[in-house]
Amino acid sequence: MALDYLSLLNPSQGAAVMQTEGPCMIIAGAGSGKTRVLTYRIANLLEKGVDSFNILALTFTNKAAREMRARIEKVVGPEVKNLWMGTFHSIFARILRSEADKMGYPRSFTIYDTQDSKTLVGQILKELELDDKLYKPGMVLGRISAAKNKLISVQQYLNDPAIRADDEAALRPKIGVIYQQYQQRCFKAGAMDFDDLLYQTNVLFKDHPDVLNKYQNIFKYVMVDEYQDTNYSQYLITRKLSAKDRNICVVGDDAQSIYAFRGADIQNILNFEKDYPELQVFKLEQNYRSTKNIVRAANSVIKNNQAQLRKDVFSDNEEGTLIEVLKAASDNEEGKLVAQSIYEDKMNQHLSYDDFAILYRTNAQSRAMEESLRKLNIKYKIVGGLSFYQRKEIKDLVAYLRLTVNPNDEQALRRVINYPKRGIGDTTIAKLVEAAEQSNHSLWEVVSNADQFLPARVSNPVVGFGEKIKEYTAKAAIHDAYEAAKQIAKESGMIEELYADKSIEGLSRYENIQELLNGIKAFVEDPEREEKSLGAFLQDIALVTDADTKDAQAEGEQVTLMTIHSAKGLEFRNVYIVGMEENLFPSQMMITSRADLEEERRLFYVAITRAEKKLTLSYATSRYQWGNLRSCEKSRFLDEIDPQFVDFKFAATPAGPGAGESPFGHVFERRSNLVPPAPRKTVATKYVTPSDFKPSDTSSLQTGQRVEHPKFGFGTVAKLEKQDGTTKATIKFEEVGEKTLLLSFAKLRVH
């Protein structure tokens, strides 16, 4: 079977797949097929007789783990189900739940997301009477996170003179106290944040050598993807787990290390050989993604970094077009140039808008791009917008589910104790919190026995709420996640509350709850999942990363807009990197040291290597910032690209278009005599609801029928869907486009 692998791989890939014993490092250049190598390496181990239970494969996103698992299954079959494969956080959350009693945590501990943590920090600041403008919750949380990633405990933080001096110099001497309170409150609530999943795993292995030995014997082969993105905590865990058999394989590319701001330490990959002198190194240098020009341009940029593992990335693909550089007079003109370029390429080359991506250094840059795309009627999606699980109504129901599984979850309890309203006001909640602090009990213990702490008139609704949660917990113990969640959504009063809101926003919130329940149903019906409890579902959604969330805006082909950090691991046919200006890219805040500048250069390298066929760079000579127009100079990174791979001939004049001149003509005039015109918008008469408007009976509504809505005007029924006793109608309105409405709410007049 080994020969079959080798026939599917190039020599470097094949050598990395066949080397299964001892420490090895696979340096995988951009687009070099590292997922294929990891897949076949695991398949090779299984075919050599290694028990699938003895293989640990760590990734940085659930998406990467799913993709790899699916590929391995095609090669080796169902044995793949037994692999320990997933993100660092999901694997170690699983271990911590198994060993929770040794740490003093419940097995059903809650995993706090960033918003939960910020809320808790805000509460602590209020209790300590600290100024939240000086001690901004996000900043405080970042400081705590950095400490945990470096495995600095609360006591070490409080007792370290250097740390204290740093905080005092920043006029924030109380951060150590906040850290202490934060950890105590999390522990009392039976909760861990994302950083705790790694920090507490290190504590577990340090304090319980027998547990470490147990997992060393289980994980005989350890593989780590994207090793350049690991922090100190992750580095230590993987080193400890592989210490016995030393069968550790790390895969990564130092040139794509771009997460220092999250604690990633590039030294982990640069110094890997120091930990393992017997290390075998394999370099995957053939790029299968991009044209030769794009690969060579990327090489010419990254060679300027001093701290790197040298490699010679090459491509056997076509030469490809030169990299275009667009120069605009302003950020608004830059948006116009990019939008027109996308429109022209799409039309002339018969492409889909899905083939295009616009990448930027900061989210704020999307505004000019969005405005210009809208003016040309180009649909787009922004990756990294508000996540489905961050919407208020979703967080409300999830808080009920979390409280059902772990009643000590203080953040969840505070969120829903008076939602829907049940007569428990802020004053009562404050008294409950005070009683919990004075008695050294959790907030839940006080709520459960509210009649002992509060007068009967005030305690009755609190006691009633406590009884409800106990009922939910009992039901969740005997039902799967879907049945439990459905009952909680109904019995809590949330469904009724949202159903009663007939506004467009209310309808949307109600539909979001339905979608959450649909998601839980799919979770329960997934044959791959053995554990179908509410607790298992909550862990699953708590560990969803940014890279796993999909933007579900308008359907159909769309241009993708995203930050470069969000684009890592993705690829697009045509890529636009905008805002190539000094102080923007490289960022003004990231050019205080050589290490910071080299991180910015790696970020540019990542951006370049997302492109398959065509790469366009753009910059503006002036840009609005904080309401003021300021002059800009082009990024030093543009000068680092070897000139032979760049085409400036389409650059705009700094002054912008002249009087009466097409705003795009001077950019494209050398390419063709005729620039495709922007699609014309038809001017529609504003719809006015007629005075005699009266809704029709829609029980026998059919697709194709023409209808009238009091707000959206006239439209045609495109689709009807029946689900759980309700009917959804997808209607294409003449003025506002396509809308999906619940017929039980929609006031439609049938024509």
Higher-scoring residue by pLDDT: 672, 347:
347
Residue of 13, 34, 365, 428 marked catalytic: 34
**What's the pLDDT at 3?**
47
What is the tens place of the pLDDT at every residue in 497-540?
Answer: 888 887 767 777 887 888 888 888 888 888 878 889 999 999 88
Q: Cα-atom radius of gyration of the chain, to the nearest Å? A: 29
31 appears as a binding residue in the annotation = yes
| Interacting residues of 432 by C-beta distance below 8 A, sequence separation 6+ | 443, 446, 447, 450, 453, 454, 462
Known catalytic residue at 540: no
Residues 743 and 717 sit within 8 Å (Cβ to Cβ): no
Residue of 113, 193, 195, 225 marked catalytic: 225
Percent pLDDT > 70 in the chain is: 91
Decide if pLDDT at 68 tops 90: no
82-107 mean pLDDT: 93
Known catalytic residue at 392: no
Decide if pLDDT at 552 tops 60: no
Give the closest residue to 542 by CA, choosing from 203, 224, 197, 103.
197
**What's the pLDDT at 628?**
64
Give the closest residue to 565 by CA, choosing from 585, 544, 540.
585
Question: Among the listed ranges 259-273, 397-411, 636-650, 690-704, which one has the minimum average pLDDT value?
Answer: 690-704
**What's the pLDDT at 653?**
41
- 291 exposed, middle or buried (CB, 10 Å; 0-12, 13-18, 19+)? buried
What is the tens place of the pLDDT at every residue in 71-94?
Answer: 888 888 888 888 999 999 999 999
Residue of 113, 193, 226, 600 marked catalytic: 226
**pLDDT band at residue 661, thresholds of 50, 70 and 90?**
very low
34 appears as a binding residue in the annotation = yes
**What's the pLDDT at 1?**
44
19-45 mean pLDDT: 91
611 appears as a binding residue in the annotation = no
User: How does DSSP assign 403-462, residue by residue?
Assistant: HHH-TT-HHHHHHHTTSS--S--HHHHHHHHHHHHHHT--HHHHHHTGGGTS-HHHHHHH
**pLDDT band at residue 17, thresholds of 50, 70 and 90?**
very high
In angstroms, rounded to a whole number, what is the distance separating the alpha carbons of residues 146 and 714?
Answer: 56
Give the pairing of strands 713-723 and 110-112.
unpaired
Residue of 361, 601, 610, 623 marked catalytic: 610
What is the tens place of the pLDDT at every residue in 357-382?
Answer: 999 998 878 878 988 998 898 999 88
User: What's the mean pLDDT when you consider all of the chain?
Assistant: 86
**pLDDT band at residue 385, thresholds of 50, 70 and 90?**
low
Known catalytic residue at 437: no
In this prediction the pTM is 0.74
**What's the pLDDT at 65?**
85
Output the six-digit token pair for 401: 């589910």
Output the six-digit token pair for 242: 């592989």
**pLDDT band at residue 158, thresholds of 50, 70 and 90?**
very high
What is the tens place of the pLDDT at every residue in 110-147?
Answer: 999 888 999 999 999 999 999 988 999 989 999 999 99
Give the closest residue to 139 by CA, choosing from 181, 180, 167, 110.
167
| Interacting residues of 192 by C-beta distance below 8 A, sequence separation 6+ | 96, 105, 109, 110, 111, 112, 186, 200
What is the tens place of the pLDDT at every residue in 408-454?
Answer: 999 999 999 999 998 888 889 988 988 888 888 889 999 988 888 88
What is the tens place of the pLDDT at every residue in 454-474?
Answer: 888 888 899 999 999 999 999
State whether residue 135 is helix, strand or coil.
Answer: coil
Residue of 59, 228, 238, 256 marked catalytic: 256
30 appears as a binding residue in the annotation = yes
| Interacting residues of 701 by C-beta distance below 8 A, sequence separation 6+ | 707, 717, 720, 727, 729, 743, 748, 750
Question: Among the listed ranges 20-29, 383-392, 726-735, which one has the minimum average pLDDT value?
Answer: 383-392
567-592 mean pLDDT: 90
28 appears as a binding residue in the annotation = yes
Q: What does DSSP assign to residue 686?
A: P
- What's the one-letter identity of residue 230? T
In angstroms, rounded to a whole number, what is the distance separating the alpha carbons of residues 607 and 624?
Answer: 24
Angle at 410 between CA 409 and CA 413, to 5 degrees: 90
**pLDDT band at residue 61, thresholds of 50, 70 and 90?**
confident
Known catalytic residue at 616: no
Decide if pLDDT at 682 tops 60: no
Known catalytic residue at 256: yes
Known catalytic residue at 195: no
Residue of 19, 20, 35, 473 marked catalytic: 35
**What's the pLDDT at 559?**
95
727-736 mean pLDDT: 84
In angstroms, rounded to a whole number, what is the distance separating the alpha carbons of residues 679 and 437?
Answer: 64
718 appears as a binding residue in the annotation = no
In angstroms, rounded to a whole number, what is the distance separating the alpha carbons of residues 671 and 669?
Answer: 5
32 appears as a binding residue in the annotation = yes
**pLDDT band at residue 651, thresholds of 50, 70 and 90?**
very low
Decide if pLDDT at 182 tops 90: yes
33 appears as a binding residue in the annotation = yes
